[in-house]
Amino acid sequence: MIRLFGILTGLFFAVAVLWSFGNGAFVAATEGLGEATAEKVFYEHPEELDLPSNGVFGTFDEAQLQRGYQVYKEVCSACHSLKFVAFRDLAQLGYDEGQIKAEAASFQVPGIDPATGEATTRPGLATDYFPSPYPNTVAAAAANNNAIPPDLSLITKARHDGSAYVHSLLTGYSEPPAELTQQFPNFTTPPGLNYNRYFPNLNIAMAPPLALDGQVTYGEGNPEPTVDQMATDVAAFLTWTAEPTLVKRRQTGFAVLGFVLFATILAYFAKQQVWAAVKPKKAAKAKD
């Protein structure tokens, strides 16, 4: 009885796995089929972005990360927070203690009045985290056409294509192409929204944050701050905020793989040594 129950249970799980595989294959094969819509026809997949941190041997470019932080501070921080990044983390970008304290003090963070106990704001400290520019989500929605700007700490992990998505979205604003309105006369960009070919439904509440070349002034020795360059730099910076230990993790991974390879070779030779005296005995018995 127990054996029969075990067989039936195994069959049930086997059928469930086969059904899931078949259903997934069907969905993958038919996804995107059906009636054409403006979103399906004119939405463009994010373009590949070549960053120094790409690939298994990639590393962060400190100068680029500093430029990306500058773009975030001067442009993106007006609407977006970095709630998982502390000011002291900027030391990883090459800033010294004095610079970090100055950067922290340039932001206002939530605090408490020691005299009255009431909520207030104060200049940031190195141990504080980057604050939200809005006191709450209601205020954020009211200031952005009822759309709450997302926190950018993990945005390159939270979006498919990560860094490439951020770069493409920032550079994908334009007027709706004539072909779109000709093919889909009912398509419109409502007031308060903006057309962006890299946004899934083509209309996004965020206004173009990088609208002009030179919007952010880079120091000497840096590339020209074109829209594309600024978008690339801030995408690199947000790649770092999402995983500041990226390079260290890869280095640790190579060390672990090397150890596993060494241990495997060592185990093989140990096995050969242990069974070396046994094999001749087995061979002799087989001859007898």
Q: Residue ranges for the binding site for heme c?
A: 76, 79-80, 206
Backbone angles phi, psi at 262, to 5 degrees: -60, -45
Alpha carbons 124 and 88: distance in angstroms, whole number: 11
Return the pLDDT at 21: 67
Q: Which residues is 110 bridged to in the sheet?
A: 121
Given a cut of 70, whether residue 282 has pLDDT beyond it is no
139-181, pLDDT tens digit by residue? 999 998 889 999 999 999 999 999 999 999 999 999 999 999 8
Asked if residue 111 has pLDDT above 60, the reply is yes
Question: How crowded is residue 87: how many other Cβ atoms within 10 Å of its Cβ?
Answer: 24
Instruction: Assign 29 a pLDDT band (cuts: 50, 70, 90).
Output: low
Q: Is the pTM of this model over 0.85?
A: no
Mean pLDDT of the region 123-128: 96
Tokens of 11: 């069959």
- Return the structure tokens found at 116: 């009255």
Residue 173 tokens read as 């604003």
Spatial contact of 179 and 41, defined as CB atoms under 8 Å apart: no
Listed range (15-19, 186-190, 204-208, 256-260) with the worst mean pLDDT: 15-19
Would you say residue 287 has pLDDT above 70? no
Rounded Cα–Cα distance for residues 121 and 78 (Å):
16
**pLDDT score of 137:** 93
Helix (H) or strand (E) holding 39: helix 38-42
What's the rounded Cα separation, in Å, for the pair 79 and 137? 12
pLDDT band at 124; cut points 50, 70, 90: very high
What angle, rounded to 10 degrees, do the helices at 227-242 and 162-171 form? 150
Give the model's pLDDT for residue 145: 84
Contact between 153 and 242 (Cβ < 8 Å)? yes
Alpha carbons 147 and 190: distance in angstroms, whole number: 14
Q: Enumerate the known binding-site residues.
A: 76, 79-80, 206
Contacts for 226-233 with beta carbons within 8 Å, 24 or more apart? 227/170, 227/171, 228/171, 230/67, 230/71, 230/75, 230/170, 231/166, 231/167, 231/170, 231/171, 232/49, 232/51, 232/64, 232/167, 233/64, 233/67, 233/68, 233/70, 233/71
Report residue 272's pLDDT band, with 50, 70 and 90 as the boundaries: confident
Q: What is the CATH number of domain 38-85+129-244?
A: 1.10.760.10
Q: If pLDDT is split at 50, 70 and 90, which confidence band does 11 have?
A: confident
Domain boundaries, the chain: 38-85+129-244, 248-276
Query: Higher model confidence: residue 255 or residue 10?
Result: 255
- Residue 122: beta bridge partners? 109
CA distance 159 to 216: 25
pLDDT tens digits for 33-85?
Answer: 557 888 888 999 999 999 999 988 999 999 999 999 999 999 999 999 999 99
Residue 106 has pLDDT above 70, yes or no: yes
